[in-house]
Amino acid sequence: MSQELAPLSDPGLPEHVHRKADVDPRAAKKAERQVGILFLFSVLGTLLFIYSYVGIDESIFIFLPVLGNTNAHQLFLGLGLAMALFFIGMAAVHWAKTLMPDHEVIDIRKEQRSRDDDRSEFVSTVKERAAEAGLGRRPFIKRTMGLALGLVGLSPILLLRDLGPLPENELNETNWKAGTRLVTDPGDRPIKPSDLEVGGVAQVQPAFPEGKERHLDDIGKDSVLLIRIRPEEFNLDAERLSWTYEGIIAFSKICSHMGCAVALYEQTTKHLLCPCHQSTFDVTRAAKVIFGPAARPLPQLAITVDSEGYLVAKAPFNEAVGPSFWERDSK
């Protein structure tokens, strides 16, 4: 190993091979013509672009293979622009390749490191001038300067306080209260148990009182999925069973993992699938997680019927809906 080869001697840059355009004036003329034609293609492209912009109606669709029925205005506008730009580039590159000199040129690299005398001059300069600043001899200045700069850096951070309100208890609350009616989403129609067949599913929101508008913020925590299976298929403890009504069970639709809408219900397996990260929840066991990264089951909403026979919430959710957070206190 130590008899390592001294590298074979560098044969130096290979002989320059002339291009056709270098030796044959006709070939050079041909290359020139080619460059010119490429530039003219670009001109054609710009003309196509202008024509498409003003001349092609936006409602025309033409059929092309692969693209299918496509909007002519948009297509030719884009193709015109593409042509206009592309061929300028092709012309410039072809010009460089065929006509500009292609002799390889050598330049010298200097070491990145500065010369020794420059370095020592730099060092002595810095030392002298640092001594002139006098920080070393004046610790009081140093400390108070550090204090001032550090504190002033805090001020902008304080300014950011009003970016938003404090969460307080909002993450633990939804608009579901005891007696809130379940209404269809969209449509806002109240639901009777007979409206939902076995194997059926309904997207549901809490009924909002007259005049109060539902915002996306509300949908982001109130969304509920209503599912009906045969009562004997439930595998729940007595308490959770009492939160169902005649085979109908309600879960928060907001995934306990990262908040996507878990609306994918498989009637045959009684599983809910969240399409974001494939967390799978078992409806018969109170949305217990059976696959995927979710760590908690979906919160279950206790439901019953009111005096008019419509489905209502029995109580608010017993835990926070949606993704976990530091202050979340429940299993």
Partner 1 sequence: MSARERIAGQVANYVDERTGSAKWLKKTLTKVFPDHWSFMLGEVVLYSFIILLLSGTFLTFWFDPSMREVEYEGSYEPLSGLKMSAAYASTLHISFDVRGGLLMRQIHHWAALIFMAAMVAHLMRVFFTGAFRKPREFNWIIGVGLLTLGIVEGFLGYSLPDDLLSGTGIRIAEAIIQALPVVGSYLAYFVFGGAFPGEVFIQRIYTVHILLLPGIFLALITVHLMLVWYQKHTQYPGPGRTEKNVVGYPLMPVYMAKAGGFFFIVFGITAFLGAVASINPIWLYGPYTPGQISAGSQPDWYMGWLDGLVRMAPPLETHAFGHTISWNILIPGLIIPGIVFTGMALYPFIESWMTGDKREHHLLDRPRNAPNRTALGAMSITFMLVALINGGNDLIATHFALSINQIMWGTRIGIIVLPPLAFIITKRICLSLQRADRDLVLHGRETGRLVMLPHGEFIEVHEPLTPEKAYLITQHEQLAALEPVAADANGVRNPKGARAKLQARMSRAHQEQIAKPTSKEMLEIEDHH
Partner 2 sequence: MRYLSRFRRHRFAGPLLLLAGLLFVGFGYTVAQAASQTVTTTNSDKATLIAEGKEIFARGCSSCHGLNAEGAGIAPSLIGVGAASVDFQVATGRMPMADMSQQAMRKEPVYDEEETAALAAYVASLAPGPAAITNEELAWERSGDTAEGGELFRNNCAMCHNFAGQGGALTQGKYAPTVMGVEPKHIYEAMLTGPQAMPVFSDNVITPEEKLSIIKWIKHAESEPALGGAALGRVGPVTEGLLAWTLGLGLLIGVAVWLTTKAR
Residue type, 63: F
At 222 the three-state DSSP class reads helix
Number of residues that bind partner 2 (CB under 8 A): 51
**DSSP class of 69:** E
- Expressed in angstroms, the distance from the first to the final Cα of the chain is 64
95: left (phi over 0), alpha (psi -120 to 50) or beta: alpha
Which range binds partner 2 by CB under 8 A, 110-118, 155-163, 209-217, 268-276?
Answer: 268-276
For the CB of residue 241, give the shortest distance to partner 1 in the complex, in Å. 25
Per CB under 8 A, does 65 bind partner 1?
Answer: no
Contact 303, 196 (CB under 8 A): no
Per CB under 8 A, does 97 bind partner 2?
Answer: yes
Positions in 275-314 near partner 1 (CB under 8 A): 275-279, 289, 291-296
> Using CB under 8 A as the criterion, what x/- string covers residues 238-277 for binding partner 1?
---------------xx--xxxxxxxx---------xxxx
> Do β-strands 280-282 and 182-184 pair in parallel, antiparallel, or remain unpaired?
unpaired
Indicate which single residue of 149, 154, 159, 163 sits in contact with partner 1 (rule: CB under 8 A).
163
Indicate which single residue of 32, 102, 173, 319 sits in contact with partner 2 (rule: CB under 8 A).
102
For the CB of residue 19, give the shortest distance to partner 2 in the complex, in Å. 5
Contacts of 180 (CB under 8 A, 6+ apart): 206, 207, 312, 313
Residue 25 binding: pick among partner 1, partner 2, none (C-beta 5-8 Å cut-off by kind): none
- Residue 12 has phi, psi (to 5 degrees) of 80, 170
Positions in 181-200 near partner 1 (CB under 8 A): 185
Positions in 219-248 near partner 2 (CB under 8 A): 227
Report the alpha-carbon angle 280-265-294, nearest 5.
20
Residue 166 binding: pick among partner 2, partner 1, none (C-beta 5-8 Å cut-off by kind): partner 1
Per CB under 8 A, does 26 bind partner 1?
Answer: no
Tally of CB atoms within 10 A around 57: 7
For the CB of residue 330, give the shortest distance to partner 2 in the complex, in Å. 27
Residue 202 binding: pick among partner 2, partner 1, none (C-beta 5-8 Å cut-off by kind): partner 2
Residue 19 binding: pick among partner 2, partner 1, none (C-beta 5-8 Å cut-off by kind): partner 2
Tally of CB atoms within 10 A around 316: 17
* Cβ-based nearer residue to partner 1, 55 or 134: 55
Cα 237 to the center of its chain, rounded Å: 40
Which range binds partner 2 by CB under 8 A, 68-76, 238-246, 299-307, 323-331?
Answer: 68-76
Tell me which residue of 260, 185, 280, 177 sits closest to 226, measured CA to CA: 185
Indicate which single residue of 32, 46, 71, 316 sits in contact with partner 2 (rule: CB under 8 A).
71
Take residue 180 and report the two structure tokens written for it: 């809130």
Per CB under 8 A, does 116 bind partner 1?
Answer: no
For the CB of residue 77, give the shortest distance to partner 1 in the complex, in Å. 5
Is the previous residue joined to 275 through a cis bond, with omega within 30 degrees of 0?
no
Contacts of 188 (CB under 8 A, 6+ apart): 205, 207, 208
Per CB under 8 A, does 160 bind partner 1?
Answer: yes
